[in-house]
Chains A and B, each alone.
Chain A
Amino acid sequence: MVATFLAALGVGVATYIAIADSGGSAPACIGGSGGCQTVAESSYSHVLGVNIAIFGAIAYLLLLAAAWGRGDLARMGGFIVALGGFGYSVYLTYLELWVIDAICQWCVASAILMTLLFAVNAVRMVRYVGEPA
């Protein structure tokens, strides 16, 4: 239930960033901060020409599917996707703080959601491992 809610929120955040980028602009930072624009303009916002928010949206959709699923594949799959998303979020946060030198509030929101999803999926997986099959 919690995983479903967090993943759905993540889909919304990533989709908003991807839509803003496809329109040639940047997501709007609350309070008029230019951080979102600086981050969106940076070379790190795209991988192989694709906005990383699209990869984020795909990851959140997979986590949504994993949250609904049962069995080894859903639980372990959810854990691994959340682990990958969490790891990449750590890297992106490092880039924002020490390389790009700007903070995008939408990226922070996504990083928080991915961290929570990693925690939820880790607990879910560890509990599952302890259950009799």
Chain B
Amino acid sequence: MKKLLTALASVALVSALSISAVAADKLKVGFIYIGPPGDFGWTYQHDQGRQAIDARLGDHAETVFVENVPEGPDAERTITRLARQGAGLIFTTSFGYMDPTMNVAAKFPDVKFEHATGYKRTDNVSTYGARFYEGRYVIGQIAAKMSKSGVAGYIGSFPIPEVVRGINAFLLGAQTVNPDFKLKVVWANSWFDPGKEADAAKVLISQGADIITQHTDSTAAVQVAEEQGVYAFGQASDMAPFAPNALLTSIIDNWDDYYVDRTQAVLDGSWVSTDTFGGIDSGMVFMGPYINMPADVKAMAEATAAAIKVGELHPFAGPVYKQDGSLAAAEGETVDIGSLMGMDWYVQGVDDQL
């Protein structure tokens, strides 16, 4: 038995070595994910981007990924391991990987890093994110049109600027249709806990919300909406198969082009540290099919998305009032990029406190 195991182990070792020998001249691109690629949400879309690299640049690059990496010391260890294994480009795909990425990047100056949704950069660390809030504004308008109770429930993950920005954009969109629209917020304090996301959705529905939207990574909340007969929106990927009658539309992230471009840049030697913040205009964010709604609501949503795309409409165009009544942006102005990036305040009308 022991001999057999040793033999098996050596076969496995030899084959592993031979694979890496063949692949040595390819650029190795590493990814670390906060959840599993099978979440059909945030991580799923990043994994689609990874597969796009394989499909389009497979002759020159190969990808590896590590899933379910907790934010914190584990992340630093995992990123270090990818760098040691010879990855030339590493995508770290969650906000909480920011400091671990910076720490590892300092130790591996020749490796390029790309950190999603963060704000710290150096010569070998780029950041990239998407203006998801543009999509949130569109679904806010749809929500206000479709809601009977005038109350929507919003399941947040962590109170970080990216999520708060989405909440504010949603409500600002809704208020253009119904100035008295109410928004209840429940924080799951987790990116991925299907059970808790479902609990939060049930709680919000029992408190009168007839629209559920979420900034967490699983499809649990839209399924509860389907079961209880209220409307919901997909987040990160098209969640229509999970809630064919409840889903109105989805905000879909599309990282494919960005990932392929950045990998190509490393291959060409033209990679430099940048900050990318793509929206509906660049295709990094796009809206899923508009379903389960009357034609006029659909037309309104399409018009809003189109106006955002060409830059005629900014979700945070003034006047924008903070929760305490102070003015965040006056008529004719928009909330400045600094406040957007570090957003730690709610707009007027949110039924929650930060």
Answer yes or no: do A and B interact: no
A interface with B by C-beta (< 8 Å)? none
